[in-house]
Amino acid sequence: MIRTQIQLTEEQSERLREAARRSGLSAAELIRRSVDRFLEQGAGAPVGAATRLSALEVSGRFHSGLSDVASRHDDYLDEAYLDEARRPRTESARTGPGSGPEALAP
């Protein structure tokens, strides 16, 4: 391993120490894992870029059978939310997984 020196703010240092204590890992191990995650997601890419790239990868993979989705996507989304709001639900279904707008995805 290569020894590297970094400077953290007091708050970062305190939060890192607390995270290390809670996880049972060393601060150095948490930093290494964070660097790995950062590099895997695309170093220097703006926050959210990985999410946008994921969305672009699925573009065009689903077929609704509608020919005007590009121009009327807001209308279709509104309809889906209204349909979801009108649907009777049990209490557990309202708060359970798959009960939100993400459940409407193809």
Residue 63: predicted pLDDT: 82
Mean pLDDT of the chain: 81
Whether pLDDT at 33 is above 80 = yes
Residue 14 has pLDDT above 90, yes or no: yes
Q: What pLDDT does residue 48 have?
A: 72
Give the pLDDT confidence score for residue 49 in this predicted structure.
72
Give this prediction's pTM: 0.43
Mean pLDDT along residues 8-16: 95
At 61, the pLDDT band (50, 70, 90 cuts) reads: confident
CB environment 59-80: b (16+ within 10 A), e (fewer)? eeeeeeeeeeeeeeeeeeeeee
Mind listing the domains of the chain with CATH numbers?
1-47 (1.10.1220)
CA 75 to the chain's CA centroid: 25
Q: Would you state the pLDDT for residue 21?
A: 95
